[in-house]
Amino acid sequence: MMKGYNLTNIGTPLKVLFTSYLCVVGIGYLMAVTQILLTHGMADGKFGLSVDDIVYSYYGNRTGTLIENKLNGSMKDMADEPDRVTIIKWVRDGAKESTFESSGAKMVFENTCIACHSEEAGMGLPDFTKFENIKERAKQDTGASVKSLTRVSHIHLFGIAFIFFFVGAIFVFATSVPVWLKSAAIAMPFVSQIMDISSWWLTKFDPVFAWLVMIGGSGMGLAFAFMWFVSVYEMWFRKHEDSSVIDEH
């Protein structure tokens, strides 16, 4: 750390910049957690993240098909009970194209699902106006595909490294924490991130690794909260460490 500069004496403009950044990424983090709860968290049909949710998301719930599992999980509220049953019955009957229309399943897809699941909706979701996209999800649920795992993995690695580089760079200027703890907190999100993402892949092949996903995710959250609160506390609630306050003009 540069001698003399720390979070208490860097001057108001830099404190405002750091705090604004921390607030925005803090809200981003809360949104990410909410999204996890609403998608992965609902994989077993119950609110809250459990090891089952993680197994279902990555390894798949192999006793059923993806469509049925989703209709009992995160897609449960997307259709009325009779409509859900119509689709589930059609899927259990082998998801045949010949009965797609007569079973009433086609109608449910058109009336309720394609509002989000189509090119037009522009949400990047599988397009259910195309039969093959439905058919593909009426097979045994083997969890996230390698294609989607690769996509999500690289987005996370780049995005999260970017966020934690700056959160860490701000936290470097904290003084109320011993050096070993500071270094550990800075390294933790990067280590957790690699652990988290490796364990998505491992869980895809063996559900035993689901608990590693939990540890990776929690480690990252813990380090984030710790660096966030210490940094904000030192900037605004701690007395100046030395008299060499940066000129504020």
Q: Which residues bind ligand HEC (CB under 6 A)?
A: 39, 66-67, 70-71, 74-75, 78-79, 87, 112-113, 115-117, 125-126, 137
Q: Min. distance of Cβ 122 from ligand HEC in angstroms?
A: 12
Nearer to ligand HEC, 141 or 234 (CB): 141
Looking up tokens 């060499």 gives 244
The end-to-end CA distance of the chain, in Å, is 24
* Closest CB to ligand HEC among residues 121, 177: 121
Q: How far is CA 163 from CA 21, 22, 99, 167, in A?
A: 10, 10, 50, 6
Residues 6+ apart with CB under 8 A from 177: 185, 230
CA–CA distance, 208 with 214 (Å, rounded to integer): 12
Query: What's the Cα-to-Cα distance from 95 to each of 107, 163, 242, rounded to whole Å?
Result: 14, 44, 72
Separation of alpha carbons 234 and 7, rounded Å: 6
Q: Please state the closest distance from residue 192 (CB atom) to ligand HEC, in A.
A: 23
The least CB distance from residue 138 to ligand HEC, in Å, is 9
In the block, tokens 């996370």 appear at: 156
248, 10 in Cβ contact below 8 A? no
CB 113 to ligand HEC: min, Å: 3
Residues 6+ apart with CB under 8 A from 169: none
**Nearer residue to ligand HEC within complex by CB, 44 or 234:** 44
Side-chain half-sphere exposure of 181, counting CA atoms within 13 A: 9
Q: How far is the CB of 222 from ligand HEC (least distance, A)?
A: 26
**How is residue 39 written in tokens?**
């998608």
Q: What distance in Å separates the CA atoms of residue 133 and residue 120, rounded to the nearest whole number?
A: 15
Nearest to ligand HEC of 78, 163 (CB atom): 78
Q: How far is the CB of 149 from ligand HEC (least distance, A)?
A: 11
* Closer by beta carbon to ligand HEC, 68 or else 196: 68
C-alpha R_g of the chain: 24
Closest to ligand HEC by CB, 102 or 111: 111
| Closer residue to ligand HEC in complex, CB, 33/78 | 78
Shortest Å, Cβ 145 to ligand HEC: 7
Interacting residues of 171 by C-beta distance below 8 A, sequence separation 6+: 182, 185, 186, 227, 230, 231
